[in-house]
Amino acid sequence: MKTLTSLLLTSAVLISASSLSATDTPAALPQPKIAVVDVQAILDKSTATQGVKAEIEKRRAEIQKEMSTYETELRGKDQELAKQQKTLPEKEFSQKRQDFEKRVAEVQMKLEVLKVQLEQAFDTARQDVYQAFLKSSDKVKQDVGANIVLYKEQVVLADPSYDVTEKVLATLNKDLPSVKVKFMATAEIEKQLKSQTK
């Protein structure tokens, strides 16, 4: 009886195993074909990034010149106030002092707006370059027959033949030779800054 029961159980297991289709078994994963890229080097050396940096530096120089004008203006007003303190009635001097402090606050706000404007323009342009880098990496991945692309900083040791940095850089420079640097309107940035201080 025990033999018959064990025979029936064995048959049941064999039948259920044979009824499994080939799709029920997990597919074998492809062998990894790895490529390595130095993303920081690509983003720094790309012609688009170089153009962005040049545009930002040009704007920074313009801002510096503008700020020097404000600095000269405020220094002159401060010296004038120091002289007037001895001759003006207290109430009149107090009003002039308040006007001066208001002007200082305006200049400081303008400086903050310009700083944010530069940072946002750079970050947005850099993001455009990064998105193009991803597409260029995908093209090179397909060209070299890789199915995995790793950032160089994630790899401890690798044969130099895995490194496709120069190929990706060349593809990126071809696909995206330049990026338009967009400076957000100062009024929009002022609005953002004021909403942050509330």
Separation between Cα atoms, residue 169 and residue 167, nearest integer Å: 5
H or E stretch including 148?
Answer: strand 148-151
Residue 134 CA to residue 189 CA, distance in Å, equals 30
Tell which residue, 155, 73, 154, has the closest CA to residue 107: 73
User: Three-state DSSP class for 182?
Assistant: coil
Handedness of CA 184, 185, 186, 192 (dihedral sign): negative
pLDDT value at residue 26: 63
Structure confidence at residue 25 (pLDDT): 55
pLDDT of residue 99: 92
Report residue 154 as tokens: 């994630």
For residue 198, what pLDDT is reported? 64
- Nearest-Å Rg of the Cα atoms of the chain is 33
Taking CA atoms, 135 is separated from 115, 129, 132, 168, in Å, by: 31, 10, 5, 9
pLDDT in tens, the chain (198 residues): 445 444 444 444 444 444 444 455 567 777 888 899 999 999 999 999 999 999 999 999 999 999 999 999 999 999 998 888 888 888 888 998 999 999 999 999 889 889 989 999 999 999 999 999 999 999 999 999 998 898 888 888 888 888 999 999 999 999 999 999 998 888 888 888 777 776
